[in-house]
Structure 1
Amino acid sequence: MMAKGFMSAAIGAVALLLAGCGERGAERSPLATEGVTDSMIAAGVGDEWLTYGGGYDEKRFSPLDQINADNVSQLGLAWFADLDTARGQEATPLMHDGTLYISTAWSMVKAYDAKTGALKWEYDPQVPRSKLVEVCCDAVNRGVALYGDKVYVATLDGRLVALNQKTGKVVWDKLTIPKGSHMAITGAPRIVKGMVLIGSAGAEYFTRGYIASFDAQTGEELWRFYTVPGNPADGFENEAMEKAAKTWNGEWWKLGGGGTVWDSITYDPQTDLVYFGTANAEPWNPAYRNTDGAGDSLYTASIVAVKPDTGEYAWHFQETPEDRWDFDSNQQITVTDLEIGGKSRRVVMHAPKNGFFYVLDAVTGQFISGKPFVDGINWAFGLDPVTGKPDVNPEAKYELTGKPWIGVPGAVGAHSWSPMSYSPMTGLVYIPTNNTPQYYAHDPNWEPGETGFQLGIDVSGGNIPADKAVREATKEALNGALVAFDPVAGEVRWKVPQPSPTNGGTLATAGNLVFQGTSTGEFRAYTADTGKQLWSFETQSGVLAAPMTYAIDGEQYVAVLVGWGGVWDVSAGKLAGGITPNISRLMVFKLGADGKLPPLKPTPALVLDPPAPTGTPEQIALGEKLYSNSCSVCHGISAVAGSLNPDLRHSATLGRKDLWQQVVHDGLLSENGMVAWKDQFNRDQIEAMRLYVLKRANEDKALEGK
C-alpha cells in the first residue's frame, strides 16, 4: 500500500545524506434505465460529476469553462460544511440531480444540496475503531459510486453497502473480504455494466489480493479475480494463476502474497476491458517469499486487464518485477487516444510510485514508452525501450547485498494515490509528485507475526537524532511538486515546487485551469498551459483529496474535501514538516462568492515533561527496532507523532510500566483503535518500547530547551 508509516526510512535517508473467472453468482440484474445509467457515466463529465474520475476514462477533465484563466481571481467560497470525522479526507465528491454526495473518514456518507450546502441525509456504517490497526494510512475513504437510484460505499471493515440516493437508507450490505482477514477497503467503487467493482487494501498484512464484481441491484458476487496465486496443492483457479505461480518460490501462499487492488480501477468501453493496478508483494523483502531464488511475483506491482463480463484475464504489464520497495501500481489509470508515430493509438497512461510514466497499448498491454516524471530515481538505471522492463540497480537489492539502501523514490512513491488529471486541450498530465527517500534494510531475524505490518525489513537505522541542524535539513530536503508531463514526448513541460510532499489531487478544466490543494493549507488554481498560479484560498488545513466541478442553473462550482491526515501525518510526524492541524470540511466555490471560514482556534502547545530516562542500552536498542518497525506506522518516526494520533512522548502511560502494559499488551484502549499487541510482542519487548520512547522524550525535552 502507500508509504505505510515507514517514513523513518524516508526521513532517515535524508538525514544520512482469475481467480479470474471465479465461481459465478446469480444472474446479473437488468441495467439501470432511470437515475444514473451506464450511458450517462460513459458520456463523461458535463454539468454533473457521476463517478470517481469524472468518467470511465478517469481523465478528471471538465469541459466547463465559466470559471477560466481570465476570471478565476473572482472565485470565492460559496458554502462549506464541517465534518465530524477528524481524520484524513481523501474523497472526490459526486454530483447528480442537484445533490452532492461525499464519503468521509470511517466510511461515512453524506448528501448535500449542491447549490446551498443544506444537509439532506447522512449514513454511518459503524466501522469498529479497532480496525485501524489493519489499515496502513489512516481511516480514509476515497469516494462513493452512483448507479440507478443507489449510492455505493465500500467500508473500512470490508463491506460494500448500497444506499438509497434520496434517503440514505440501507438497501443491502455485503461483506466482501474473507471473514477474519486483515484486509480493509479505502478505495472508491466503480460501476461497469450494472456491476459494482471493488478490491481491498492490506498488502502488508498477509493477504491475497483480488478485484471482485457485485450485482448493483442485489449485491450478489458475480466474479472474483485473484492477483496472486494461492496454494498449488489446492489447484489453480485458472491458467493465469498457474502461470503466475511459476514466478513465485518457496511457500509464498502462507504469507498471503499481497497484490491488493486498493485504488485504481478503470473501464474502457472501446476495448471493453477493465484495467486495475496492484500493490506490492508481501512481505516486502523478497528473501522471505522467494526462498528458492528470484522471481517476478506476478501479478504484483502491475497493471492487469480483465474482461468485465466474466473477470477473465486479458493481459498484464508488470511495472516493478519482484518489488522490494513498496512500489504499488495502484495509482490512477487514464485511458485516451494519443498520436504516436503519426498514428492514433488507444492507450492507458500511468504514473506509479516507481517514478516512470508508462504509456501502454490499451488493447494488448504492449509497452509503448516509459520516461521518468521525477528526478533522482536510483533504484533502476532506466527501462528497456522495447519491453519496458527496468534495469535494476544491483545495490537496491538490499536483501542480497546485506547493506542498507536509501531508495529514491521511497515507499511514499514519486506519485501515490492522489489523482492526476489529463487535459486533451493541452495534451498534458498534471501529477502531484513527492520527493521522499526511504531507508531499507534486510532484517535477518524477522519472523512472521499476527499483528501489524509483516514486511521483513528493519527501518530503525533511518531514525532522526535529536539534532536541530539535522532536523531542519531533513525538512528542507523532503518536498513535492505539481508536474505537467507530456505523455507523447515523455518530458516534463512545467513544474511548481512545493515545500512538502503528499499534496492534493488535481482537476483540469476547459477554462485553461488546473486546480490543486496543498498539504500546507491552500487551494490553488494554475494556468494549464504554463503553470502560472492565478488564485489561492487559505483552507486552514491540509488538502489531500482531488477537486471536482459541476454546474447548476448556469453557475459553475468547484468542490474539494479538506482535512489533513493520511500516511504523511501518521508516520512522518512533525519531523518531516508540512504538517497542519486536521480541520475536516467540504468546501464549495463559485465566481463572485464571498463566504468566510470561522477564525482558527488557537492550539495550545504541548510541553514535554517526561519522567527521567531509565533502562539498559540493550533494552533501548531493542525498543527502537520494535517501535520503528511497528509503532511508527501510527505514532510517527522517532516517536514524534503527527496531528491525528497520540504522541507517546506526552503519554501518561510513559512513566507507568503497569499501565503501558495494559494498553499495549492487553488492549485496554481497543475500542479507541489501540488493539492488544500480545500476539506480536511479549511483555519484555513491550517494556523495551516504553524505555525507547522515554529516552526519545527526554532527548527532545533537552532539544526544546536549547
Structure 2
Amino acid sequence: MSRLLAFAAAIGLSACTAAAVPEPQTATPLAAQDAPLGAGEDWDNPGGDWAESRFSRLETINRANVSRLGLAWEYDLGTARVQEATPVVIDGVMYTSGNLGRVYALNAATGEELWTFTPELDMQVNRSACCDQANRGVAVSDGKVMVGALDGMLYALNAETGAIEWSVDTVVDHTRGYTSTGAPEVAGDIVVIGNGGSEYDARGYVTAYRIADGRQAWRFYTVPRDPATGPQEHPELDAALETWSEETRWDIGGGGTAWDAITYDPQFDQVIVGTGNGGPYPQAIRSPGGGDNLYLNSLVALDRETGRMNWHFQETPQDNWDLTATQPMTLTTMEIGGEQRPVILHTPKNGFFFVVDRETGFAHAANPIVRTNWASGFDVASQSFTMTMEDSDYSQGPKIVYPASPGARNWYPAAFDPTRNTYFAQVLDMGNLLFLPGPIDNVERQEKFLNAGAAIIFTSDLEAAAETLPPPLRAAVQAEDSWQWVLDQPYSSQLRAMDPLTGETKWAVDGLGWQDRFGVLATQSGLVFHGNSAGTVTARDADTGEVLWSIETGSTIMAAPMTYMVDGVQYVAVQTGWGGGGWGFVPRYAAAYDKGNANRILVFRLDGGQVAIPEDLPPLQPAPEPPAQYADATPEMIAAGSALFTANCSICHSNQPRAPLPDLRRMNRGVHAGFQQIVRGGLFVSRGMPHFADRLSEEDVKAIHAWLISVQGPLRERDLQLQAEGLPLDTQSLTILSNY
C-alpha cells in the first residue's frame, strides 16, 4: 500500500438521527439578533456577524469596480505551516491566530504590528494532532482576545498589549490525546471551547469559562462515561447511555469531540455545538451491538447560563464513517410552510444539507448534495434517515462508502447571502474504501495515539490502488455495487451556489482537485470571494459564478476571506498557508509544492498594488549516499520497519519531496547517526518532532531505520539517472511512494 494510502488508512469516518421535538421555548430577543444579517464595518468574530454568515453588507467594492483591487498591505506570519483562521477586525485593529495558537494584533489599515503572542507548549502535543497544528481563529470580548492553543490551554490576552490576563487548562485528562484547534465562541459573559481527539482516545466535551476571570461556568460531555465508574456527570448522559451497548469500549473514549462549529444563538440564549465522530470508527468495535450512540455527530443546543441541553439533532446515526457534524453553521430566519422560522443552515461531512429549527431542533429539510450510500434519504415527517447499512457496514467485509471521510463539507467555511437566499460552499463528492485491518475482538487502546480501527483508501486513488490489493480484497472491492461509481467519477470538487431548502445547485465551478479546499466570503454587492490551492484569489459574480477579478499570490490559500472598513476604505483580507487534514501530501497543483508554504496575511483595496510572488524552491538534489545497512538486517526486519513506519511516522512524514516535513529517504549522514536519539530520545522535540520512547523500542527504531536505509539507496540511483537525463527528480516521487 502506498504511503499516501497508508496515511489515509490511519484516519476515518462519522454518524446521525433526530431528537424528539421538545416544546417550543419562549424566545429571548437580544440586540444582536435584531441586527440585519451580515457584517458591517467591523468583522467581530471569525464568522463575521452574530449569525456567523460570512456575509458582508459593505458595497464599496462591487461588480463595477472589483477589477481595480490590488494589494494594500501584507504581513509575514513568520511560520510555514497551516493557516485556517479568518481575521477579526474591531475599531481598526485586526486580530488573528496562526498555527499552534499564535496571535497577531495589527493596524487594519496599514498592517503595522501592534503585538504578537506565541503560547508556550510542549511540542510533544504534535503526537496527538491528527490534522496538523491548525487554529481557526480568536474570540474578542471585554477587552480580551481569547485563543485556544494546540495543547488545550485557553488564553485571554489584553487586547491592547497582548499580555496574558488569564489562562486555563481545558484538558480534563492528559493521559489522552486531546488538542484544541477551533476558535473559542463568545456567548454573553462566557466563552465556550471544545477539543479535538476523536481519532485518538478522547471523550468529547465543551466547557464554558467566565470571560472576566477564566472561572469555569459549566461543562457538557457529548458522550457518556463508563457507568461502572460512577453516575453520569449530567442527566442528558443518562438518556444517551441507552443508545450505547453494554459492551461499549469505554476505555478508548468514545469520541464525539467538538473541535469546531460552536455558535451562540442570541435569540434563544443558547450555544449550539456540532459534535464529532465516534472513536474508534467501526461501531462493531466501539459499541458492539449497535445503537445510535448519542451525542455523536449531532447538533446539541445548550442553555447559555446552565449548560443544560435544550434539544439535540443527530445528523449521522450509527456512526461508522467519520461523518462529523463539526462543520461551521449559519443562523438565519427563513420562510417555511408560510411561517418565518429561526433556523440553522448546516452542511456537515455526511453529504446532506440540513435546515434545522433553532427553537425545537426539528429538521425542516435534509437534502443530499453529493452521492451517499450510508443513507438513501431523510424523511421529514418521521425525522429519520433511511439507513443503507447493507451498502456501508464494513464490519463483515470491505465497503466503498460515500461520502469519504474528508466529507462533502469540512472545516472550510461557507457563506450565506440572505438577499439572494444562496449558500456558497466548496463541495467534495468522493468516497472511500473502508475495511477492518484486523480482528475486532483484539483491539487494544493506543494511549494518546490513533485508535481509528479502520483502513481507508479514497476513491480518487482507488482504481489504481485496487491492483495492489491482495487478490481476495481486490475481488471483494470490485464486486461492490458502488465500484461503478468509482469508475464513472472518482471524485468531483466544486464551488457551488445552492438553495438551502432544496439543496439544488444554482451554479458551480470545478476546483483544481480533491485537495483543493477553501473558505468563502459573500457580499451584498453581489460578489463571492475565495482563494485556492494554486494561490489565486478570485472574486465571482454571486448570481452566475463568472470571474470578475483574480490575482496570483504564489501562496496556497485555504482560509476564508473577510472584509471590513477603516476610515471609509473597504478592505478584503485572507491568510495563506497549506495544511490541515492530509497536510503531509502537497498536491502538485498547490503553490506550496513549487514555492514553499509562505504564511502571510494579504489585504486588498481598490487601486492597490501587486502581490510579491515567492521564488520557486531550489531544484531537488539527489538523495545522499545512505550509510551501510545494519549487518544483522534481514528481509523480515526491514518489512517490520516498513510496517512500523506506516503506523507511527507516515501521518507526518509522507516521504514526498515537497512535503512540509523532511523526506526521510533523503537523510544526511548526521541525521542517520542520530536516528535513535531523535526518535526515542526527543533530540528534536523543541523543533516539533515528538519522541516515541513510550511506543517504540530500540529494536523497533532500528527496524524503521533499516527500512529507510534500504529505500534510500535505490532512490539515490534513480535520482542520479533522472539528473543525467535532464529530468526533475520529483517526477518519480509518486511512483516510489506507491511501491512502499
TM-score bracket, normalised by the shorter chain, equals 0.7 to 0.9
Q: What residue in structure 2 maps to residue 587 of structure 1?
A: 602
Matched, 1:378 2:391: no
The secondary structure found in structure 1 opposite 2:583 is helix
Matched, 1:454 2:454: no
Letter in 2 for 1:647: D
Q: What residue in structure 2 maps to residue 362 of structure 1?
A: 358
Counterpart of 1:186 (choices 181, 184, 205) is: 181
Q: Distance in 2 between matches of 1:92 and 1:199?
A: 18
Q: What residue in structure 1 maps to residue 645 of structure 2?
A: 627
Task: Please state how far the C-alpha of 1:671 moved relative to its aligned partner.
Answer: 2.4
Contact 2:253/2:279 (CA < 8 Å) preserved in 1? yes
Q: Are residues 642 and 230 of structure 1, via their aligned partners in 2, closer, same or farther at CA, if it must alter by over 3 Å? A: farther
Q: Distance in 2 between matches of 1:686 and 1:695?
A: 14
Q: Are residues 217 and 431 of structure 1, via their aligned partners in 2, closer, same or farther at CA, if it must alter by over 3 Å? A: same
Contact 1:319/1:389 (CA < 8 Å) preserved in 2? no
Q: Distance in 2 between matches of 1:382 and 1:628?
A: 37
The secondary structure found in structure 2 opposite 1:78 is strand
Counterpart of 1:664 (choices 653, 674, 679) is: 679
Contact 1:504/1:546 (CA < 8 Å) preserved in 2? yes
Contact 2:177/2:447 (CA < 8 Å) preserved in 1? no
- Residue range with higher mean Cα deviation, 62-71 or 595-604: 595-604
Q: What residue in structure 1 maps to residue 8 of structure 2?
A: 8
The secondary structure found in structure 2 opposite 1:452 is coil
Q: Distance in 2 between matches of 1:327 and 1:210?
A: 18
Contact 1:110/1:122 (CA < 8 Å) preserved in 2? yes
Q: What residue in structure 2 maps to residue 213 of structure 1?
A: 208
Q: Are residues 39 and 364 of structure 1, via their aligned partners in 2, closer, same or farther at CA, if it must alter by over 3 Å? A: closer
Q: What residue in structure 2 maps to residue 605 of structure 1?
A: 620
Q: What residue in structure 2 maps to residue 272 of structure 1?
A: 269
Q: What residue in structure 2 maps to residue 504 of structure 1?
A: 518
Counterpart of 2:257 (choices 247, 252, 260) is: 260
Q: Are residues 640 and 691 of structure 1, via their aligned partners in 2, closer, same or farther at CA, if it must alter by over 3 Å? A: farther
Q: What residue in structure 1 maps to residue 68 of structure 2?
A: 74
Matched, 1:441 2:435: yes
Contact 2:10/2:452 (CA < 8 Å) preserved in 1? no
The secondary structure found in structure 2 opposite 1:73 is helix
Letter in 1 for 2:177: H
Contact 2:124/2:691 (CA < 8 Å) preserved in 1? no
Letter in 2 for 1:633: I
Q: What residue in structure 2 maps to residue 427 of structure 1?
A: 421
Q: Distance in 2 between matches of 1:210 and 1:509?
A: 35
Q: Distance in 1 between matches of 2:42 and 2:671?
A: 56
Matched, 1:556 2:570: yes
Q: Are residues 486 and 641 of structure 1, via their aligned partners in 2, closer, same or farther at CA, if it must alter by over 3 Å? A: farther
Q: Distance in 1 between matches of 2:681 and 2:141?
A: 45
Letter in 1 for 2:277: N
Deviations 1:152-203 (A, max 9, x none): 1111111111111111111111111125242111111111111111111111
Q: Distance in 1 between matches of 2:625 and 2:430?
A: 31
Q: Distance in 2 between matches of 1:10 and 1:204?
A: 9
The secondary structure found in structure 2 opposite 1:252 is coil
Counterpart of 2:535 (choices 517, 521, 532) is: 521
Q: Distance in 2 between matches of 1:390 and 1:703?
A: 53
Contact 1:449/1:679 (CA < 8 Å) preserved in 2? no
Q: How does 1:264-343 map to 2 (within 5 A)?
A: 264-291=261-288, 293-343=289-339
Counterpart of 2:150 (choices 133, 147, 156) is: 156
Contact 1:450/1:680 (CA < 8 Å) preserved in 2? no
Deviations 1:426-452 (A, max 9, x none): 111111223454332212254222242
Q: What residue in structure 2 maps to residue 26 of structure 1?
A: none
Q: Distance in 1 between matches of 2:492 and 2:646?
A: 22
- Residue range with higher mean Cα deviation, 263-272 or 606-615: 606-615
Deviations 1:299-351 (A, max 9, x none): 11111111111100111111112322211110011111122233322111111
Deviations 1:346-366 (A, max 9, x none): 111111111111111111111
The secondary structure found in structure 1 opposite 2:425 is strand
Task: Please state how far the C-alpha of 1:525 moved relative to its aligned partner.
Answer: 0.8
- Residue range with higher mean Cα deviation, 218-227 or 116-125: 116-125
How large is the RMSD of aligned CA atoms in angstroms? Answer: 3.2
Matched, 1:491 2:485: no
Q: Distance in 2 between matches of 1:342 and 1:116?
A: 48
Q: What residue in structure 1 maps to residue 482 of structure 2?
A: none
Letter in 2 for 1:60: R
Q: Distance in 2 between matches of 1:622 and 1:544?
A: 37
Contact 2:404/2:458 (CA < 8 Å) preserved in 1? no
Q: Distance in 2 between matches of 1:248 and 1:149?
A: 44
Q: Distance in 1 between matches of 2:257 and 2:11?
A: 26
Q: What residue in structure 1 maps to residue 87 of structure 2?
A: 93
Deviations 1:94-117 (A, max 9, x none): 111111111111211111111111
Q: What residue in structure 2 maps to residue 84 of structure 1?
A: 78
Contact 2:39/2:49 (CA < 8 Å) preserved in 1? yes
Contact 1:274/1:305 (CA < 8 Å) preserved in 2? yes
Percent identical? 39
Q: Distance in 2 between matches of 1:63 and 1:574?
A: 36
The secondary structure found in structure 2 opposite 1:567 is coil
Letter in 1 for 2:392: A
Contact 2:512/2:589 (CA < 8 Å) preserved in 1? no
Contact 2:134/2:580 (CA < 8 Å) preserved in 1? yes
Q: Distance in 2 between matches of 1:412 and 1:356?
A: 14
Contact 1:478/1:499 (CA < 8 Å) preserved in 2? no
Task: Please state how far the C-alpha of 1:659 moved relative to its aligned partner.
Answer: 3.9
Matched, 1:122 2:122: no
Contact 1:5/1:632 (CA < 8 Å) preserved in 2? no
The secondary structure found in structure 1 opposite 2:558 is coil
Q: What residue in structure 1 maps to residue 346 of structure 2?
A: 350
Q: Distance in 2 between matches of 1:429 and 1:199?
A: 26
> 5+ unaligned residues in a row in structure 1: which ranges?
14-37
The secondary structure found in structure 2 opposite 1:633 is coil
Task: Please state how far the C-alpha of 1:59 moved relative to its aligned partner.
Answer: 0.7
Task: Please state how far the C-alpha of 1:468 moved relative to its aligned partner.
Answer: 12
> 5+ unaligned residues in a row in structure 2: which ranges?
14-29, 469-485, 723-731, 733-740
Letter in 2 for 1:232: P
Q: How many aligned residue pairs are there?
A: 669
Letter in 1 for 2:602: M
